[in-house]
């Protein structure tokens, strides 16, 4: 004959047996609990690390290139192009000029910021340190408003300085050089000529 027990009685019995098992096997219960805690914590930490890495990558990219910035170039990235493919792209893609950037700036007004730049490779020396094959960029003053650029020394030319710039003619450079040489030669040679014409005795007397 089977005795019928309500669900509450069976639940209480199971709970009592479980507590008795925990009291009897304390070490096993502790290790089981520790394993569950470590497993859950590992899942939470990995998930948080992945989410944090994604946010960091998004913020770093936004700071470096801007959230709504685009790069326009004759060849934006050479990648794994062969020399033939690279030369074909150079022939097909028109070279971007400064007047193209001016046209875009006039067309869009102040709605879009433009920062034309040119890049070349060269050796740069700072004090006793020489940087070989360094990438040298010439940019405009609007680049810090587009990308997160930090200057350790110096500053950018302002838009006003760019608008009011004046080209230095070649004749002015040549004239300045000639005048400098003439002044140096005159004030160096003329006293020497006068001194050579003096009598040594009179020269020592005046000295």
**What CA–CA distance (Å, rounded) separates 60 from 3?**
69
Answer for the pair 156, 138: CB distance below 8 angstroms, yes or no. Answer: no
Q: What is the CA radius of gyration of the chain?
A: 40
Query: In the 8-state DSSP scheme, what is residue 36?
Result: H
Tell if the pTM clears 0.95, that is, is over it: no
Which pLDDT tens digits describe the chain residue by residue (207 residues)? 445 455 666 677 777 777 777 777 777 777 888 888 888 888 888 888 888 888 777 777 666 665 677 777 777 766 677 888 888 888 888 888 878 878 887 888 777 878 787 778 888 888 888 888 888 888 877 777 777 777 777 787 777 777 787 777 788 888 888 888 888 777 777 776 776 666 666 656 555
- Residue 22 CA to residue 162 CA, distance in Å, equals 80
CA neighbor of 112 nearest in space, from 145, 73, 63, 148: 145
């Amino acid at each position: 004959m089977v005795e019928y027990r309500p669900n509450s009685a069976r639940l209480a019995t199971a709970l009592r047996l479980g507590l008795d098992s925990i009291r009897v096997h304390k070490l096993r219960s502790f290790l089981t609990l520790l394993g569950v805690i470590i497993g859950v914590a590992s899942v939470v930490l990995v998930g948080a690390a992945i989410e944090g890495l994604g946010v960091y990558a998004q913020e770093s990219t936004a700071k470096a290139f801007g959230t709504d910035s685009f790069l326009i170039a004759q060849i934006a990235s050479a990648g794994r192009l062969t020399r033939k493919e690279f030369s074909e792209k150079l022939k097909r893609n028109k070279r971007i000029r400064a007047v193209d950037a001016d046209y875009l700036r006039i067309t869009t007004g102040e709605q879009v910021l433009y920062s034309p730049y040119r890049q070349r490779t060269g050796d740069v020396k700072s004090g006793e340190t020489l940087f070989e094959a360094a990438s040298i960029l010439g940019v405009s003053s609007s680049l810090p408003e587009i990308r997160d650029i930090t200057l350790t020394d110096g500053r950018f030319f302002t838009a006003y300085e760019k608008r009011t710039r004046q080209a230095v003619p070649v004749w002015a450079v040549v004239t300045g050089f000639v005048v400098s040489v003439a002044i140096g030669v005159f004030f160096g040679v003329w006293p020497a000529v006068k001194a050579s014409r003096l009598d040594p005795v009179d020269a020592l007397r005046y000295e």
